[in-house]
Amino acid sequence: MLNNGLSRARAASMNVTGECWATTDAADADTFAQVNPTGAVPARYSFDVEETVLVGLLAANPPQAYQHGPDCYEFLPSSYPVLNHHMVNGRVISPVP
């Protein structure tokens, strides 16, 4: 993700449907990383995106993202071009605590 952005094919190889889950809570992100089904070294990708971009994805019709609770987001593959264009400050944290 750091070098090539989000990819439906890469996401689908991990979860079949190709969505990408994100959270604003670092502890939750660490938990997501630790339950990675590939058994690889747990890592998380951290990035920033403008709130207006996030709101646009959530409000799109058809939906490009869903919010689950106060700080968890499900990004559908249709959102990847927008996210890839607008993600900044990307970094990989590995291994996670």
Considering the domain boundaries, does residue 3 fall inside one? no
Considering the domain boundaries, does residue 2 fall inside one? no
Q: Hunting for tokens 């993700």 — which residue is that?
A: 1
Cβ(23)–Cβ(73) under 8 Å?
yes
Low-confidence ranges of the chain (pLDDT < 50): none
Cβ-based neighbours of 13, under 8 Å, separated by 6 or more: none
Q: What was the pLDDT predicted at 1? A: 72
Considering the domain boundaries, does residue 1 fall inside one? no
Domain count, the chain: 1
Rg (CA), the chain: 13
Q: What was the pLDDT predicted at 26? A: 93
Q: What was the pLDDT predicted at 13? A: 56
Q: What was the pLDDT predicted at 10? A: 65
Q: Is the full-model pTM beyond 0.95?
A: no
Range of the domain at 58: 8-93
